[in-house]
Structure 1
Amino acid sequence: MKLQLLVIETDYCWRKALLRMVLDPKVTSLHSDYGSFDRPLGAGEGHERDVEAAVDGSSNGMAQSSDVYQRQPLLPGAPTKGKDKWSGVASGSDYYVDDEDEKIDSLRRHPGIPNGSGNGVVKLDIPAPLREEPRFPKEKWKTFLAFLFMVVNFILTTASLAMVHERVPDRNTYGPLPDVVLDNVAAQDWALNVSEVLIMIMSNSAMVFIIFHKHRFIVVRRIFLLMGLLYMMRSITMYVTVLPVASKTYFCSPKANNTSPLLVTKRVLQLISGFGLSINGKHTYCGDYIYSGHTVVLVLSYLIIKEYSPKRFQPIHWLAGIAVLTGVIMVLVAHGHYTVDVLIAYYVTTRLWYIYHTLANNSHLKQYEPNNFLARLWWFPIFKYFEKNVGGTVPRQYDWPLPWPRRFLAKHPNRDS
Structure 2
Amino acid sequence: MKKKQIGFLLLLGAALMLSGCGDDAEGRIEIDDSAPSQVTHVNAESTAGAVTLTWQIPTSSSFMYTKVVYTDADGKEQYQIFSKERASADGQMSATFKGFIQTDPVTFQLYACSVRGNNAGAVEVTGIPGAPNFSAVLESITVDAAYGGIRVNTPNTFDDAVVVAVEWQSAAGKSGSRKYTVSPKSTDGRFVRLDVDGGFLLEQASVTIHTEDEFGHASAPRQFTVTPKAVKKLDQSLMSIPGYNPSSNDGTIGYSSQESQGEGAINGRAACMLDGNTGTFWHSSWKVATTYPQWFIVDLGKDYQIAQVELTRRIGDSRGQKGQTIYTCASDKAGDASNPDSWGWDSYGSFSFDNTSDAPQASDLSGRLQAARYIKVYFGTEMKGSGNNTMVSEFNVYFVE
Q: Would you say same fold, with TM above 0.5?
A: no
Provide TM-score, normalisation by structure 1: 0.17
The structure, 1 or 2, with the larger RCO (C-alpha pairs under 8 Å, 6+ apart) is 1
Higher CA-based Rg: 1
Bigger fraction of residues in helix: 1
Bigger fraction of residues in strand: 2
